[in-house]
Structure formats: structure tokens, C-alpha cells
Amino acid sequence: MHPGFERLVIAEQWQVLSRLTRLPTSAISDALRPRPPQRLSHSEFTRQVAQLQTLRNAL
């Protein structure tokens, strides 16, 4: 993917992913941002899965 990707700070990782996928960094952050410890609602879970699938498919 990118030499030293795992050593980049999160914002830089998102920028690299944005360049690779041509998705906006907001889409990357929406997909990868840590979620609260409480359980997600069904619609929030479905939205999270869709965002992750979009990112995966773009890669």
C-alpha cells in the first residue's frame, strides 16, 4: 500500500487512502472512525458496513 503506512498518524493514513481511492477524506474518516462503545442501532450498523464496503471496493 504505502511504505511505512502503519507508522503514519491517522490523519495522514486517511489522506493516503483518499489519494488511492479517490474518495474524499470525509468518507475515509466516516468509515474508519472509532465507534462509541455502546451498541450501534440497526441503521447505524448498516451505514457503517456500507461505508466500509465502499472503501474496500475503491481499494
Q: What is the pTM of this model?
A: 0.83
Q: Is the pLDDT of residue 14 over 90?
A: yes
Overall average pLDDT of the 7-20 stretch: 95
pLDDT in tens, 19-59: 999 999 999 999 999 988 999 999 999 999 999 999 999 99
Q: Mind giving me the DSSP string for the chain?
A: --TTGGGS-HHHHHHHHHHHHT--HHHHHHHHSPPPSSPPPHHHHHHHHHHHHHHHHH-
